[in-house]
Structure 1
């Protein structure tokens, strides 16, 4: 599948820059913003937009992840365990995509997002909080990665949107460690997903390269800004981003049910 219109490098660079900033700031892949932008403004088909987004986020995840790591805000063991789960889960998700009715799953995920949006205003993690990795939490981290990978494949949502709040609320991580660990986890997930998408011709590599380079320039800035924002305001901003994702999913689901 090829893209008929070649979007301008300037437009792609601007989109990539915005994605990189959000990626560094919130520890997310940025696909939740990038995919609808590519579809609405640049005329990409949904599948091509998703595949291009997965490839584009790789440089930003690497550079942003390094930004968090330099400041000591990455739990490497947790990131490795999550990555092991997400790489397998992403393959399962893409396999199930054409076989599972995603309607109920989508509504359940939207309820989960709503719960996260509300709780972000009331549960503020401590900045010095860390993940206590034991045999049980290790197994739960792999399971979290697995479920995240499956949901990403089935619903087209980025892993960071799920992993960051889960690490904060269920594993006791600080907001910064949750974001840094999430970005590192996204690296192998992006590589795995891009190989699969390239094989199915669901990625525009030229656009992904421009988006990715632009994103990687601003991603470290986002990670630095994140350390300067108090945890409560960081949560408030993240909740608004998730509310945007929730609204977008709700709109798409309701519009789809009317057809």
Structure 2
């Protein structure tokens, strides 16, 4: 019963954090399964299975968040489909490559990546969007009736989609940790639109990425079953919180959590090299 309660709680907390900042929750789920697999399930969980399991859960999390954001008219579906053109196939490629990394290498690389994401979450508070005039200009009216104007070019948008998709499939993190800051800083998306649209792309890409992992037998369906209820509730709760508050306190908690998990992953990775 304790294992079930811990997995339900993990799904809830990871999804709340992920939905608020557009991460998708995988950046909490994957290292937790890798580092705490024995305590959560009674046996160790290899990194490929952790990634595959996380991506299945991300489908539920991202769907719950997307539906909540869509009701508030915060999802730019047209831009989301454009990003998915490359993020979807790239997520499949990344998923196919996950098992080729040795445990020590995966943990070390993932730990370093998490440190970079924590730094990016801090830096984005002090960075301003570029003023470049992009060839494609978007005008979007959100649920509050506010008109937002931003833009992008096809080639950079597809390149960003490919990079994020590859990282998503490889690490099982959804990709929002890269999508959101790039959309805000490079393409001038309003933060709340970037977060909501990111969750929509994560939903689509996670379907393809998790399909590859499932085909390769890299999914623990029992863990999925335990994580999904909390993930669905957390996805909706996170979207609600994001619409009601700035989330700065939770964002700082996430940053600290990422640093602690990253440090442990790097240590474990070095030990197992």
TM-score computed with the length of structure 1 as normaliser: 0.80
Q: CA deviation at 1:59?
A: 1.5
Following the alignment from structure 2 to structure 1, what is the Cα–Cα distance between the partners of residues 46 and 10?
Answer: 17
Tell whether 2:6 aligns with 1:11.
yes
Partner of 1:3: none
Partner of 2:222: 206
Tell whether 2:161 aligns with 1:148.
no
Tell whether 2:195 aligns with 1:179.
yes
Partner of 1:37: 32
Deviations 1:223-244 (A, max 9, x none): 11111213xxx35643552453
Following the alignment from structure 2 to structure 1, what is the Cα–Cα distance between the partners of residues 114 and 29?
Answer: 19
Following the alignment from structure 1 to structure 2, what is the Cα–Cα distance between the partners of residues 209 and 103?
Answer: 25
- Aligned match of 1:249 in 262, 266, 269? 262
8 Å CA contact 1:114–1:246 kept in 2: the answer is yes
Following the alignment from structure 1 to structure 2, what is the Cα–Cα distance between the partners of residues 204 and 103?
Answer: 19
Following the alignment from structure 2 to structure 1, what is the Cα–Cα distance between the partners of residues 54 and 114?
Answer: 21
**Which one is further off, 249-258 or 173-182?**
249-258
Partner of 1:79: 80
Deviations 1:169-221 (A, max 9, x none): 11111221111111111111111122111111111123213312321123222
Backbone CA RMSD of aligned residues = 3.2
How is 1:1-259 mapped onto 2 (pairs within 5 angstroms)?
8-39=3-34, 40=36, 41-42=39-40, 43-97=44-98, 98=100, 109=113, 112-113=116-117, 115-123=119-127, 130=148, 132-134=150-152, 136=153, 138-230=154-246, 234=247, 237-238=250-251, 240-259=253-272
Any unmatched runs of 5+ in structure 1? Answer: 1-5
Any unmatched runs of 5+ in structure 2? Answer: 130-141
CA gap 1:79/1:255 in 2 versus in 1, 3 angstroms: same
**Which one is further off, 162-171 or 239-248?**
239-248
Following the alignment from structure 1 to structure 2, what is the Cα–Cα distance between the partners of residues 123 and 74?
Answer: 23
Following the alignment from structure 1 to structure 2, what is the Cα–Cα distance between the partners of residues 207 and 254?
Answer: 25
Tell me how many residue pairs correspond in the alignment.
248
**Which one is further off, 69-78 or 89-98?**
89-98
Q: CA deviation at 1:109?
A: 4.5
CA gap 1:60/1:151 in 2 versus in 1, 3 angstroms: closer
**Which one is further off, 175-184 or 92-101?**
92-101
